């Protein structure tokens, strides 16, 4: 007696399995019943002749079908990946270049607090100009 299960995927439709094994193995009996049912369905279907124009018509339909909207975006995204990669690398290089140079805050700090003020912007002149009455037409 064979204790291995019957390999139904390799069994021919017209070949009978080992009935002594089927009488003792419940799972193989169920598999044999399903196999016989499917074999009957496959062998009893009528054979249909394919018309000669069928292959050409199928090829024409496949060529004429427009791609769905999502597929269009998938293709576009695939083509834009290198562009986005170059943009990311380019902006990274620019940020790095500007980060290593002097910031505007440092520039203005040096200009206002470390360089001497011109004569017309001295502290005394600014205070004196505040005590004078505003000129006519001047915005307050």
Q: What is the pLDDT of residues 13-31, one digit of tens each?
A: 667 777 787 788 888 888 8
Predicted structure pTM score? 0.32
Q: Are residues 66 and 113 in the same domain?
A: yes
What's the CA gap between 4 and 57, in Å, rounded?
48
Q: Same domain, yes or no, for 111 and 75? A: yes
Q: Are residues 26 and 73 in the same domain?
A: no
In a domain, 135, yes or no: no
Q: For position 24, what pLDDT does the model report?
A: 84
Q: Looking at the domain assignment, is residue 94 inside a domain?
A: yes
Q: Which residues contact 104 (CB under 8 A, 6 or more apart)?
A: none
Q: Residue 24 domain-assigned?
A: yes
Per-residue model confidence (pLDDT) at position 91: 92
134 in a structural domain = no
Q: Write out pLDDT tens, residues 45-101.
A: 888 888 888 888 888 888 776 667 777 788 888 889 999 999 999 999 888 877 766
pLDDT computed for residue 118 by the predictor: 66
| Interatomic CA distance for residues 5 and 130, integer angstroms | 106
Q: DSSP code of 111?
A: I
Q: How far apart are CA 91 and CA 10, in angstroms?
A: 61
Tell me, what's the pLDDT at 130?
74
Question: According to the model, what pLDDT value does residue 117 have?
Answer: 61
Question: Would you say residue 1 has pLDDT above 50?
Answer: no
Residues 38 and 76 in one domain: no
With respect to residue 111, please indicate whether it lies within any of the assigned structural domains: yes
Number of domains in the chain: 2
Q: Is residue 35 within 8 Å of 9, Cβ to Cβ?
A: no
End-to-end CA distance of the chain: 112
Residue 86 is predicted with a pLDDT of 93
**Helix ranges restricted to H, 6-140:** 19-24, 26-44, 54-64, 69-100, 104-109, 123-131
| Judgement on whether residues 36 and 82 belong to the same structural domain of the protein | no
Tell me whether residue 73 is in a domain: yes
Q: CA 96, CA 15: separation in Å to the nearest integer? A: 76
| Angle 68-69-71 from CA coordinates, rounded to 5° | 70
- Domain carrying residue 37: 8-46
Same domain flag for 41 and 66: no
Q: For position 114, what pLDDT does the model report? A: 64
| Residues 74, 38 share a domain | no
């Amino acid at each position: 007696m064979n204790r291995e299960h019957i390999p139904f995927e390799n069994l021919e439709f017209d070949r009978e399995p080992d009935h002594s094994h089927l009488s003792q193995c419940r799972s193989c009996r169920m598999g044999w019943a399903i196999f016989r049912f499917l074999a009957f369905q496959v062998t009893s279907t009528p054979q249909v002749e394919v018309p000669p124009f069928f292959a050409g018509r199928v090829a024409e339909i496949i060529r004429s079908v427009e791609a769905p909207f999502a597929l269009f975006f998938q293709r576009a995204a695939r083509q834009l990946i290198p562009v986005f990669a170059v943009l990311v690398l380019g902006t990274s290089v620019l940020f790095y270049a500007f980060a290593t140079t002097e910031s505007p805050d440092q520039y203005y700090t040096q200009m206002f607090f470390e360089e001497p003020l011109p004569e017309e912007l001295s502290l005394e002149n600014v205070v004196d100009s505040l005590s004078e009455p505003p000129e006519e037409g001047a915005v307050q």
